[in-house]
């Protein structure tokens, strides 16, 4: 397996072995894939690996964060526009479908797509043709579609928030990435892997986790999943003056009380907090912060805008 995928799946849990087996089987096909799982489980990483192992690997993988595309800009972003189509359309512009033609289109956070936009997406997927805004010319597109979500699309269908016909179109193959709390046996292996990685990255002498530190990591619920574990190890490597990491090198927010006087931290708040912490550690440099978080600069910008950072 390639190095990046090993970071995600390295471990003995049967669930992750099953995920890897599915990836190996479907990558070479053109079947539409829906990747589900909580934030931080590595859905985008899996999409990238599927593209790399496909017959389209020599073409582009185009990623669209559907949660950051306003409904008013949906058609322009995905289908493009011609010059003069609207006030700011000063030149012809290809949309993501055209850019991805011949390659793979990855629609992240597909569950955030409004109903009106869902019908437009479905039409493009069914016809395999798009028309730029301001033009009646139909342009054929040849894409392999991968979608990802942390939401329950089946429940959204029952609630009338997601089109059933669109769900059937995108979920030929469903890959469910389990949360880290369901992969407790993987935590020591992942932790040691990240420890080695960050010691090398920051030119630190080899470090190790003592037994009690590993126990603390294994007992944590990891609401931020693998990403949270990765950041915890990175922080410990940077801050520790010892070659042996102790439980005190890892500080976790106590579990929220069920009392109405306490506020339970949501996954979104957790992610916003990590982004803020990483920004501060890197002098508010967006490029460095994005690299440390393992996302693109544009994705970081979108998340900052979403969380009002």
Q: Which two tokens stand for residue 221?
A: 């619920």
Alpha carbons 146 and 279: distance in angstroms, whole number: 30
pLDDT at site 102: 98
Domain spans of the chain, in order of start: 3-178, 181-306
Q: Which two tokens stand for residue 231?
A: 């950041």
pLDDT for 290-301, tens place per residue? Answer: 888 878 888 888
- State the DSSP H helix or E strand holding residue 36, giving kind and residue range, or none if neither: strand 33-36
Mean pLDDT, rounded, for 217-244: 94
pLDDT for 113-132, tens place per residue? Answer: 999 999 999 999 999 999 99
pLDDT at site 262: 39
* Helix ranges (DSSP H) in the chain: 3-9, 14-26, 43-52, 74-79, 96-100, 115-127, 153-158, 164-170, 187-201, 211-219, 225-239, 267-281, 286-293, 297-306
pLDDT bucket at 265, cuts 50 / 70 / 90: low
Q: Are 239 and 192 in contact (CB under 8 A)?
A: no
Question: HSE of 272 in the Cβ direction (CA atoms, 13 Å)?
Answer: 11
**In which residue are the tokens 């490029």 written?**
287
Q: Are 34 and 176 in contact (CB under 8 A)?
A: no
In percent, the amount of the chain with pLDDT more than 70 equals 91
pLDDT at site 131: 96
- The mean-pLDDT minimum among 75-89, 175-189, 266-280 falls in 266-280
pLDDT bucket at 307, cuts 50 / 70 / 90: confident
pTM higher than the cut 0.75: no
Alpha carbons 76 and 78: distance in angstroms, whole number: 6
Q: Are 66 and 299 in contact (CB under 8 A)?
A: no
pLDDT at site 16: 79
CATH number of 181-306: 3.30.70.100, 1.10.1060.10, 1.10.8.60, 3.40.50.300?
Answer: 1.10.8.60
pLDDT at site 9: 52
- The sign of the CA dihedral 5, 10, 13, 14 is positive
What would be the CATH architecture of the domain defined by 3-178? Answer: 3-Layer(aba) Sandwich (3.40)
Mean pLDDT, rounded, for 13-24: 84
Between 178 and 7, name the one with better pLDDT: 178
| Cα-based angle 122, 128, 131 (whole degrees, multiple of 5) | 85
């Amino acid at each position: 397996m390639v190095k990046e995928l090993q970071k995600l799946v390295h471990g003995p849990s049967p669930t992750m072995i099953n995920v890897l087996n599915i990836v190996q089987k479907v990558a070479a096909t053109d079947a539409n894939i829906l990747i589900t799982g909580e934030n931080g489980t590595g859905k985008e990483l899996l999409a990238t690996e599927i593209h790399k192992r496909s017959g389209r690997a020599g073409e582009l993988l185009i990623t669209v964060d559907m949660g950051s595309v306003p409904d008013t800009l949906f058609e322009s972003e995905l289908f493009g526009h011609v010059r003069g189509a609207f006030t700011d359309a000063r030149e012809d512009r290809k949309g993501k479908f055209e850019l991805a033609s011949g390659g793979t289109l990855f629609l992240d956070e597909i569950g955030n797509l409004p109903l009106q936009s869902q019908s437009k997406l479905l039409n493009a997927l069914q016809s395999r043709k798009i028309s730029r805004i301001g033009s009646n010319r139909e342009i054929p597109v040849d894409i392999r579609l991968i979608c990802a979500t942390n939401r329950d699309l089946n429940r959204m269908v029952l609630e009338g928030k997601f089109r059933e016909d669109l769900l059937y179109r995108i979920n030929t193959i469903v890959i469910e990435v389990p949360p880290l709390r369901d992969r407790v046996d993987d935590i020591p292996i992942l932790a040691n892997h990240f420890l080695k990685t960050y010691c090398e990255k920051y030119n630190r002498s080899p470090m190790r986790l003592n037994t009690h530190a590993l126990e603390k990591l294994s007992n944590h619920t990891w609401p931020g999943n693998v990403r949270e574990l990765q950041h915890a190890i990175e922080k410990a490597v940077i801050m520790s003056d010892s070659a042996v990491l102790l439980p005190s090198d890892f500080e976790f927010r106590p579990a929220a009380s069920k009392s109405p006087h306490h506020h339970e931290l949501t996954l979104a708040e957790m992610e916003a907090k990590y982004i803020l912490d990483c920004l501060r550690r890197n002098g508010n440099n967006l490029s460095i912060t994005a690299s440390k978080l393992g996302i693109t600069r544009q994705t970081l910008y979108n998340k900052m805008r979403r969380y009002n950072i």
